[in-house]
Structure 1
Amino acid sequence: MTIRTSLIVGLAVVTLAAAGCGGKSGNASGRTGDDGVKAGPGVTTDKITVGALTDLTGVYASLGKSLTQSQRLYYDQLNAAGGVCGREIELLVRDHGYDVQKGVSAYTEIAPKVVGISQVIGSPIVSAVLPRLAEDEMLVIPAAWPSSLLDQEYVQIVGGTYDIEMINGIDFLLERKGLEKGDRIGHIYFEGEYGENALAGSRYAAGKAGLTLVEQKIKPTDTDMTAQVTALKSAGVTAILLSAGPKQAASLAGVAAAGGFAVPIVANNPGYTPQLLGTPAAGALEKNFYLVNEFQAPNSNAPGMKALTSAYKAKYPGQTLDNGVSFGYVAAKVFGEALKDACAAKDLTRKGILKAHRAETAFDSGGIAAPLDFSKVGQVGTRQSFIQRPDAKAEGGLVTVGEPLTSQLATGYPIP
């Protein structure tokens, strides 16, 4: 995290704390309706309101759009099946444009109105609202995967974490791409929580495998990877890890190919979007680029993925099937299943929903992701990853390489 971002987050937390002094928006005194169901904020006799703090106008606007559309799809399906406890689910969406202060303001506005939040894009936004989550007793699912959030009782990471992804990525390079003990491997990463958490994983795996890691820190505003490619080529690396965004992925692959530097590139899941296959870097990406992901590619034969792909295309014809679609849908289903279990226990308070969620030890997404264990605060729900590569002919521009991967390195990794 940069000094500037740290200051913004700090100011946002102070602002948020001040805004919270006027009264708690948490469970307060739960009320019991005529149906015998205890209810709290965001729950009426006929409606349950779930929040979404997304990015529709900022740097992750395409991801935010896909996430929000897939979550609306899930809640529409849930409502068509009768809702939860006879109540319709409503998704209350606010766009923060990936601006911390806007995110804090949006949280302050919707917190009294929602039962929980099934989407928050951005680690900085999540960090800024953390002080209120324990007070509000509200389950939140971030579209961010740093291991630092694992010990937060009210925050649920759905999938693996950035460090686990990089560990499995290095194992893939060792097993499938000829990487050997004594080799040098590069890692280009964003400054801040995302990149530094991924770096923790690559450092661990490199140390265990006897590799030398050559680190290249960049800012999100750095979109030309020429200097980094030059440095890594001079260092003699035989593979490159990337923990950055799609623009950096396109530049890295294109610059390396143009310079005759044909080494495999392995990126974390936020580092690719199928729109890159419409750029000049498409050929280089299809040849040497790999993505570590916790969710099946859209062309997967997994029953849940096939059903999701069909339903999404029917509801949003012509829209891109990217990683946001699968993650958004699974995250909404995680929240929906917690609501259904809380309904069965006749407790739709925020505490009741969290309790129901934390009892889940093998969440089934129909094969879109590995079974997920949400019962252990401080532990990752899965250490399994899919290795995927770009393919312009495939649905969603991705195909999976081999079987799902849970490396011995990842299994033995102690979560920091």
Structure 2
Amino acid sequence: MRKTRVPRTAIAAFTVLAALSAGCSSKAVNEDKGGTDADGVKTGNGVTDKVIPLGVLTDMTGPYASLGKSVTQAQQLYVKKINADGGICGRKLKLTVRDHGYDAGKAIPAYTELQPEVLGFVQFIGSPYVSATKGRIGKDKALVVPQAWAASLLGSEYIRTIGATYDIETINAVNFLVEEKGIKNGDKIGHVYFEGDYGENALEGSKYAAKKAGLTIVGQKIKPTDEDMSAQVAALKRAGVKAILISAGPRQAASLAGVAAGGGLNVPVVGNNSAFAPQLLKTQAAPALMNDFYIAASTLPIGAEDPAPAKLAKEYKAAYPKDSLDNGVVAGWTAAGAFGTILKKACEDKDLTREGVARALSKVKNFDDGFGIAHDFSDPATPSTRKSLILKPDDKVPGGLKVHKEAAASDVAEGFTFGD
């Protein structure tokens, strides 16, 4: 979801409109210029008396196609549920989806195309592309909720990540290694990371945490096209690392875990939230992944027995019986739920303009959808949380992950100042 150089693929577009009946408002509003409806609600950018249009910029055909499909279908499920319950502010939500195939040559034009027509974006996969349009997003004032967690996205009131940024997530991962895996002062930790804002932001976190704990980070930078981690494992073994962090994709994580186990480097491995996919548990890497491999994340896994994920898993399987469960379902649902909460607040404030949505967002200080962590959106300069759960692969639970350690923020994460 956060890599940069991938082959181009074709854009596929489709629109989801879950219902046609309208709610309480009666006066139509100019879709381009906006206005004020009969109930005194200010509107703009496509909002009518019947519809609130939202954009989805996703990857349905590129390297994150599986994730993009899960995130998007979960958001479609959310929209269908909200619309069946009467919508928001008397209006139905409408999602317009663009598949950019994780290609900058298509992602940015897709943003340009959709931006004038929607109130905001409930999904934008790919932090490089969000970063590339950050200045424009600030001028356009359309709220973007990206499926990306680079700290470089902080600071804009119109780009709001849901969860800990990569640096914070990695700091919490290092703390887990120190507290539970016996890593101590003087030890070395390997860190395999993607070039670019994802991996390098995670590296900032590992170096910061290592300095605080008296550890040494042995870095191994890789490209998204690097899928065989043999050379990296060999280098880390020679360096004598006692644990490994991986800030890359599922394929790299599986290769790392499998090669390390096969080569006698039996050390704990912790990945960032996008370093795992349940499909890996059907590969030869499964035993290594279920042995001493962990994921730091900002939501409960879809296979958790808690009421919210259990209910979502049941509803998602009913809606999409042929599709597998993964944490993209949780990520998509959570993002849609946060956006819905913001829209409800904007409606209360009688302001469904882009500026009104941004003001409503700043008032949401305790968004808790039952997935393990409450989120505070009051300060755009900080992530919505500094907490991380530690998850462990398990092929016996839906989605392939179970909770190993409940959500917590380490003292180092709490004391981290962005820009350090």
Code of the residue aligned with 2:208 in structure 1: it is Y
Question: Which of 373, 376, 393 is 1:390 aligned to?
Answer: 393
Who is 2:28 aligned against?
none
Who is 1:376 aligned against?
379
After TM superposition, the score normalised by the length of structure 1 is 0.92
Q: Deviations over 1:255-313 (max 9, x none)?
A: 11111111110000010000000111001110021000111012223322122111111
Question: Which of 346, 351, 354 is 1:347 aligned to?
Answer: 351
Question: Which of 329, 333, 340 is 2:333 aligned to?
Answer: 329
Are 1:150 and 2:154 an aligned pair?
yes
Q: Could you tell me how far 1:403 is from its partner in structure 2? A: 2.3
Are 1:71 and 2:81 an aligned pair?
no
* Aligned mates of 1:172, 1:137 — CA distance in 2: 38
Who is 2:66 aligned against?
62
How do 1:4-403 residues align onto structure 2 when only pairs under 5 Å count? Answer: 30-366=34-370, 368-403=371-406
Who is 1:23 aligned against?
none
* Aligned mates of 2:154, 2:240 — CA distance in 1: 36
**Secondary structure, aligned partner of 1:269:** coil
* Aligned mates of 1:176, 1:210 — CA distance in 2: 16
**Secondary structure, aligned partner of 1:86:** coil
**Secondary structure, aligned partner of 2:280:** helix
| Residue identity (%) | 54
Code of the residue aligned with 1:273 in structure 2: it is A
Question: Which of 406, 409, 418 is 1:415 aligned to?
Answer: 418
**Secondary structure, aligned partner of 1:389:** strand
**Secondary structure, aligned partner of 1:133:** helix
* Aligned mates of 2:138, 2:186 — CA distance in 1: 46
* Aligned mates of 1:364, 1:224 — CA distance in 2: 39
* Aligned mates of 1:319, 1:29 — CA distance in 2: 41
Code of the residue aligned with 2:283 in structure 1: it is T
* Aligned mates of 1:333, 1:166 — CA distance in 2: 26
Code of the residue aligned with 2:188 in structure 1: it is R
Q: Deviations over 1:154-175 (max 9, x none)?
A: 1001011101111110111111
Q: Deviations over 1:104-161 (max 9, x none)?
A: 1111111111010010000111022222212211100000001111111210010111
Q: Could you tell me how far 1:321 is from its partner in structure 2? A: 1.5
Code of the residue aligned with 1:176 in structure 2: it is E
Q: Could you tell me how far 1:369 is from its partner in structure 2? A: 3.7
Note if contact 2:34-2:46 (Cα within 8 Å) is conserved in structure 1.
Answer: no
Q: Deviations over 1:169-194 (max 9, x none)?
A: 01111111111111111000000000
* Aligned mates of 1:405, 1:373 — CA distance in 2: 15
Note if contact 2:50-2:92 (Cα within 8 Å) is conserved in structure 1.
Answer: yes
Q: Could you tell me how far 1:28 is from its partner in structure 2? A: 8.0
Who is 1:15 aligned against?
none
Gaps of 5+ in 2: 9-30
Gaps of 5+ in 1: 9-26
* Aligned mates of 2:139, 2:383 — CA distance in 1: 24
* Aligned mates of 1:29, 1:93 — CA distance in 2: 23
Q: Deviations over 1:315-349 (max 9, x none)?
A: 11132211211111000011111111111111111
Note if contact 1:70-1:328 (Cα within 8 Å) is conserved in structure 2.
Answer: yes
* Aligned mates of 2:352, 2:411 — CA distance in 1: 40
**Secondary structure, aligned partner of 1:69:** helix
Q: Could you tell me how far 1:203 is from its partner in structure 2? A: 0.1
* Aligned mates of 1:267, 1:40 — CA distance in 2: 42
* Aligned mates of 2:250, 2:305 — CA distance in 1: 26
Structure 1 runs of 4+ aligned residues shifted over 3 Å read 27-30
**Secondary structure, aligned partner of 2:407:** coil
Note if contact 2:299-2:330 (Cα within 8 Å) is conserved in structure 1.
Answer: yes
* Aligned mates of 2:69, 2:303 — CA distance in 1: 20
Note if contact 1:159-1:369 (Cα within 8 Å) is conserved in structure 2.
Answer: no
After TM superposition, the score normalised by the length of structure 2 is 0.91
- Name the structure where helix makes up a greater proportion of residues: 1
* Aligned mates of 1:415, 1:308 — CA distance in 2: 34
318-327 or 170-179: bigger deviation: 318-327
* Aligned mates of 1:49, 1:128 — CA distance in 2: 23
**Secondary structure, aligned partner of 2:225:** coil
Note if contact 1:300-1:306 (Cα within 8 Å) is conserved in structure 2.
Answer: yes
Note if contact 1:42-1:50 (Cα within 8 Å) is conserved in structure 2.
Answer: no
